[in-house]
Amino acid sequence: MARILVIEDDEIVRGVVRRVLQSKGFDILEAMDGKVGVEVFQTESPDLVITDIVMPNKEGLETIRDLRRLDPDVKIIAVSGGGRNTPDDYLILAEKFGAARTFEKPFEWDDLVEAIDELLGEGAR
């Protein structure tokens, strides 16, 4: 069973992502910000990371950079609702930092699951 780390500062959004992905057969790890997310990544070695971009303590772009330094092959999906800039601005940067896929909030669950299956292979569940 594939392990996915969800890094999201909004507890409600993080909980919804966890429930949806667990219902699809994934094992979910959670972190409330990028700082905790990097720590969880180092101790738990998830197969894939889904990270928000706009977060306190360590924002998503810095988190993506740090994850890439720890594991150049880590599979990352970045999501953003915007913040002060448009979501597209952040998501374009996320791709440059190394996110394999990006989604603007709100996103379609089927699209997210399809991206996970593409990155991990459908047999990962």
Domains recognised in the chain with CATH numbers: 3-118 (3.40.50.2300)
DSSP state of 73: T
Cβ-contact 46, 4 below 8 angstroms: yes
| Residue 73 pLDDT | 96
pLDDT (tens digit per residue) in 15-61: 999 999 999 999 999 999 999 999 999 999 999 999 999 999 999 99
Structure confidence at residue 81 (pLDDT): 82
* Helices (H), ranges, the chain: 11-23, 34-44, 60-70, 87-97, 109-120
CA distance 93 to 26: 27
78-124 residue pLDDT tens: 999 865 556 678 899 999 999 999 999 989 999 999 999 999 987 77
Q: Whose structure tokens read 């972190």?
A: 31
CA distance 12 to 63: 21
The answer to whether 57 and 35 have CB atoms below 8 angstroms apart is yes
pLDDT value, residue 4 = 98
Considering the entire predicted model, what is its pTM?
A: 0.93
At 83 the pLDDT is: 58
Q: What are the beta bridge partners of residue 2? A: none
